[in-house]
Amino acid sequence: MLDTTIIENNWRSRGFSFELWEDPPGQIWKDFRHETDELFMLLEGEVILTVDNKTLKPAIGEEVLIPAGVDHTVQTSSTTGSRWYYGYKIRR
């Protein structure tokens, strides 16, 4: 089991926000691009993450950095949905 407090404190100490997202089975977020770096970490389920035309299947607890300005897609591939943490680099 992942320790949410430890992960949140780590991300915030590195200058990122910290949020939890939930999606139903089959949900696809296609071709997103942000002006700031984004962190992603799978908490439950399975997703296919495409970042800059590279397909990833992150394991639970695996952190993925999505660089600013890079197209990315998240597809929930598990039949039970997915939950993940995400955060954006906070501009100061």
Angle at 63 between CA 59 and CA 64, to 5 degrees: 100
Q: Which pair of structure tokens corresponds to residue 54?
A: 């590279």
Q: What is the pLDDT of residues 51-63, one digit of tens each?
A: 999 999 999 999 9
Q: For residue 85, what are the contacts with CB-CB under 8 A and spacing of at least 6?
A: 4, 7, 8, 11, 18, 19, 20, 21, 39, 40, 41, 43
Q: What predicted TM-score, i.e. pTM, was given to this entire model?
A: 0.94
Q: What is the pLDDT of residue 18?
A: 99
Q: What is the pLDDT of residues 1-34, one digit of tens each?
A: 899 999 999 999 999 999 999 999 999 999 999 9
Q: Which one of 1.25.50.20, 3.40.50.720, 2.60.40.10, 2.60.120.10 gives the CATH number of domain 4-88? A: 2.60.120.10
Q: Kindly list the distances between the CA atom of residue 49 and the CA atoms of 10, 13, 16, in Å, as whole numbers in the listed order.
A: 22, 25, 20
